[in-house]
A and B are shown apart, each in its own frame.
Chain A
């Protein structure tokens, strides 16, 4: 029982960390790719230089766009409510 609870809380903690990681990766992707999206924040040479390595961040951003319609559901899901 104790092991089960330990595993449960460990998994929950990791889930929150993964959520935080995704958010940070989104922010990083948005910042770096912003000049190519028409909102220049960082200098465009940095975007061009890092572009070949940002496929993961780009995928995260695309997923995020697809989930934009259901922000409420996403928030509830994050806290396991509803």
Chain B
């Protein structure tokens, strides 16, 4: 599976490019475009009628999807809420819904859900191509940096937990009682493996990061921040700078000259803006970017 992650400031054209890219890739194989932006407009750009279903089979080889965060929260937190209610008996009078709401309000719950969504796509996907339309820069960087930071902590916690288990086993041996099972270490090992999988995916040569920017200084500044942050992820993943709606190509090349290792592609302003499948299939330069 080849993955494309589109990153950049809000409003630079990530979703438009994701849709156009999805349409182009679907000519070559099964493709899924997933908009992770909480304020998504993927269906609007494709001029799809409003749908209750967040996942739409657009053509035989193309699925487009707007992530429903509320549904994702329900899916990933309801099991956890049930486990909490089981383990912490004093929570039982609160009811499942209130526990779910408490979990949703917990610090970092949004990034946690995004990681679970990404993991789900890696588990489920039988597609040849995945296109991820990421949320704007701040949230995107928090999501992308989380697996490495979490893996670091998971490894340290695993070390501490193993020491605790050794002590428990020693005590049990002396007392001649069976050592108790430890669900914590099982969960830690499972989560560590999941984080490894995410990091491998982010570093894979089959993963491309498209950093989208326009000519305005703010989107350029954010694109540069993303490029610097991506260096810390490392690996073999390919990066490309997509300068969208650009009039002055010389200036934009000058701005990114200190990233000589990353190819830069320019898409001129399109009038009218590409909306709808036909117009999106005519976005110039896409095949060139794909082949590079």
Q: A14 near B115 (CB under 8 angstroms)?
A: no
User: A54 contacts the other chain (Cβ, under 8 Å)?
Assistant: yes
Residues of chain B contacted by A43 (CB below 8 angstroms)? 108, 146, 149-150, 153
Q: Mark A42-53, 1 if CB is under 8 A from B, else 0.
A: 111111111111
Bound Cα distance from A49 to B184, whole angstroms: 10
Pick from B166-174, B203-211, B229-237 the stretch touching chain A: B166-174
Residues of chain A contacted by B174 (CB below 8 angstroms)? 10, 13-14, 17
The binding surface of chain A is classed by DSSP as helix
A21 interface neighbour in B80, B103, B164, Cβ under 8 Å: B164
Residues of chain B contacted by A14 (CB below 8 angstroms)? 171, 174-175
**How many A residues touch the partner, as a band?**
20 to 34
Given A17-B170, A42-B153: A53 and B160 within 8 A (CB)? no
* Minimum CB distance partner of A21 in chain B: B167
Pick from B34-42, B55-63, B81-89 the stretch touching chain A: B81-89
Q: B160 near A18 (CB under 8 angstroms)?
A: no
Residues of chain A contacted by B44 (CB below 8 angstroms)? none
Q: B108 near A53 (CB under 8 angstroms)?
A: no
Residues of chain B contacted by A17 (CB below 8 angstroms)? 167, 170-171, 174
Q: B107 near A44 (CB under 8 angstroms)?
A: yes
Residues of chain A contacted by B183 (CB below 8 angstroms)? 53
Q: Tell me the smallest distance from the CB of A8 to a CB of chain B, in Å.
A: 14
User: A40 contacts the other chain (Cβ, under 8 Å)?
Assistant: yes
Bound Cα distance from A3 to B37, whole angstroms: 70
Q: A51 near B84 (CB under 8 angstroms)?
A: yes
Interface Cβ pair total, 8 Å cutoff: 87
Q: Which A residues between 1 and 50 are near B, CB-CB below 8 angstroms?
A: 10, 13-14, 17-18, 20-21, 24-25, 27-28, 31-32, 35-36, 40, 42-50
Given A24-B164, A32-B157: A44 and B106 within 8 A (CB)? yes
Q: B164 near A50 (CB under 8 angstroms)?
A: no
Q: B111 near A45 (CB under 8 angstroms)?
A: yes
Q: A25 near B164 (CB under 8 angstroms)?
A: yes
Given A28-B160, A36-B107: A46 and B150 within 8 A (CB)? yes
Q: B80 near A45 (CB under 8 angstroms)?
A: no
Q: Tell me the smallest distance from the CB of A3 to a CB of chain B, in Å.
A: 16
Residues of chain B contacted by A44 (CB below 8 angstroms)? 106-109, 111-112
Residues of chain A contacted by B160 (CB below 8 angstroms)? 24, 27-28, 31
Q: Tell me the smallest distance from the CB of A42 to a CB of chain B, in Å.
A: 4
Bound Cα distance from A54 to B84, whole angstroms: 9
Residues of chain A contacted by B184 (CB below 8 angstroms)? 50, 53-54
Given A46-B153, A51-B80, A53-B87: A21 and B171 within 8 A (CB)? yes
Chain B residues within CB distance 8 Å of chain A:
80, 83-84, 86-88, 103, 106-109, 111-112, 115, 146, 149-150, 153-154, 157, 160-161, 163-164, 167-168, 170-171, 174-175, 183-184, 187-188, 191
- Between A and B, 29 residue pairs with Cβ closer than 8 Å are A10-B174, A14-B175, A17-B167, A18-B171, A20-B167, A21-B171, A24-B163, A24-B164, A24-B167, A27-B160, A28-B161, A31-B157, A35-B107, A35-B108, A42-B157, A43-B108, A43-B146, A43-B153, A44-B107, A44-B108, A44-B112, A45-B115, A46-B150, A46-B157, A47-B108, A50-B184, A53-B87, A53-B183, A53-B184
